[in-house]
């Protein structure tokens, strides 16, 4: 039986640990830190403001009353865009409207849904309704969805846009509102 005292290898283990930490530190220094994107022009607030100003007078000439809106929507080549959320669209919308959530607007998506840039487009939003109930809760007037929807459509090259003017009750038969039935649980 061996009676020699057991020698600990603690200094060797500690040395290896220190060596490993030093190597990790050198490795971290060798890799450059992540850089923020330095490309410019991906967000252009002043360009948006300029586009908004350019569109302002044109938009005023494209506001239409409900009777004109309904006459235009009868044309099969006209598309009605509902830019609200899919959830609110599912809860109710003007009959014949197509849901294209505003956050999904892109050149490709607009082309896919609308097609030709000359196609007539009708738009409406929550603030076209007086009821202030789901799915058309009123927004602050300067933030009504019709405003950025019109500007963005125009900015993507769709100029044949008409916007419903005024505010109406969902119960007005001329609105032609469709909604899924809701059921009360017992």
For residue 166, the model assigns a pLDDT of: 95
Q: What average pLDDT does the chain have?
A: 85
Give me the percent of the chain exceeding a pLDDT of 90. Answer: 66
Task: Give the pLDDT band (50/70/90) at residue 186.
Answer: very low
- In a domain? residue 21: no
Q: Which domain holds residue 65?
A: 45-178
Tell me whether residue 20 is in a domain. no
Amino acid 63: pLDDT: 98
185 by Cβ neighbours in 10 Å (0-12 / 13-18 / 19+) ranks as: exposed
Helix (H) or strand (E) holding 93: strand 93-94
Write out the two tokens for 77: 């080549």
CATH number at residue 71: 3.40.250.10
The DSSP string of 21-59 is HHHHHHHHHHSPPPPPP---SSS-HHHHHHHHHHHHHHH
How many independent structural domains does the chain possess? 1
Q: Which two tokens stand for residue 112?
A: 């896919």
Q: Which two tokens stand for residue 29?
A: 């220094």
pLDDT of residue 72: 98
Identify whether 90 is part of a domain: yes
Yes or no: say if 168 and 131 are a contact pair by the CB < 8 Å rule: no
């Amino acid at each position: 039986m061996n009676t020699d005292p057991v020698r600990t290898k603690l200094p060797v283990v500690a040395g290896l640990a220190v060596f490993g930490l030093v190597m990790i530190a050198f490795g971290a220094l060798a890799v450059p830190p992540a850089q923020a994107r330095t490309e410019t022009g991906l967000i252009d607030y002043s360009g948006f403001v300029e586009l908004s100003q350019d569109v302002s007078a044109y938009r005023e000439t494209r506001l239409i009353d409900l009777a004109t809106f309904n006459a235009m929507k009868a044309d099969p080549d006209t598309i009605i865009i509902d830019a609200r959320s899919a959830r609110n669209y599912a809860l109710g919308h003007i009959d014949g409207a197509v849901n294209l959530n505003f956050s999904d607007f892109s050149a490709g998506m607009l082309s896919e849904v609308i097609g030709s840039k000359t196609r007539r487009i009708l738009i409406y939003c929550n603030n076209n309704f007086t009821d202030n109930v789901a799915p058309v809760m009123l927004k602050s007037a300067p933030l009504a969805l019709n405003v950025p929807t019109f500007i963005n459509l125009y900015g993507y090259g769709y100029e044949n846009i008409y916007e419903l003017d005024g505010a109406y009750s969902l119960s007005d038969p001329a609105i032609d509102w469709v909604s899924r039935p809701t059921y009360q649980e017992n």
